[in-house]
Amino acid sequence: SAVISQKPSRDICQRGTSLTIQCQVDSQVTMMFWYRQQPGQSLTLIATANQGSEATYESGFVIDKFPISRPNLTFSTLTVSNMSPEDSSIYLCSVDFLKEETQYFGPGTRLLVL
């Protein structure tokens, strides 16, 4: 497994603004992912953060709304752009390792948009 941290842990933002969430892992990982978990719901994959290239987005999510960076094998950012109250959610990053089939999650970022 790995130690995964996220910043900020929580935030309250005004509509129309943007927030960048950071995910840091203490070891090099193969893949990094970004998920959203809306209140009372399960996790939905937003995108796979690819090191050195553009992220791969899932249906319903676009780069203009959720730009992602992954400059190296231990760090990624997710930006929630032009926020609306519907973006209020928990955003989680996860990682996996080449030799393992499963993923490990960061502690999440709780976002409330007013």
Partner 1 sequence: RKEVEQDPGPFNVPEGATVAFNCTYSNSASQSFFWYRQDCRKEPKLLMSVYSSGNEDGRFTAQLNRASQYISLLIRDSKLSDSATYLCVVGPISGGYNKLIFGAGTRLAVHP
Q: Which residues bind partner 1 (CB under 8 A)?
A: 31, 41-45, 48, 92, 96, 101-108
Closest distance of CB 22 from partner 1, Å:
15
Rounded to the nearest whole angstrom, what is the least distance from the CB of residue 8 to partner 1 in the complex? 15
- Please give the distance of CA 32 from its chain centroid, rounded to a whole number: 9
Side chain identity, residue 98? L
Supply 87's token pair: 């973006």
Residues 36, 39: Cα–Cα separation, whole Å: 10
The whole-angstrom separation of Cα 48 and Cα 35 is 9
Q: Closer to partner 1 by CB, 17 or 44: give it.
A: 44
Which of residues 50 and 79 has its CB atom nearest to partner 1 in the complex? 50
| Cβ pair 91, 36 in contact under 8 A | yes
- Residue number, 16 or 100, with CB nearest to partner 1: 100
Of the two residues 98 and 114, which places its CB atom closer to partner 1 in the complex? 98
Report residue 16 as tokens.
Answer: 């129309």
CA-to-CA distance for 41 and 47, rounded, in angstroms?
18
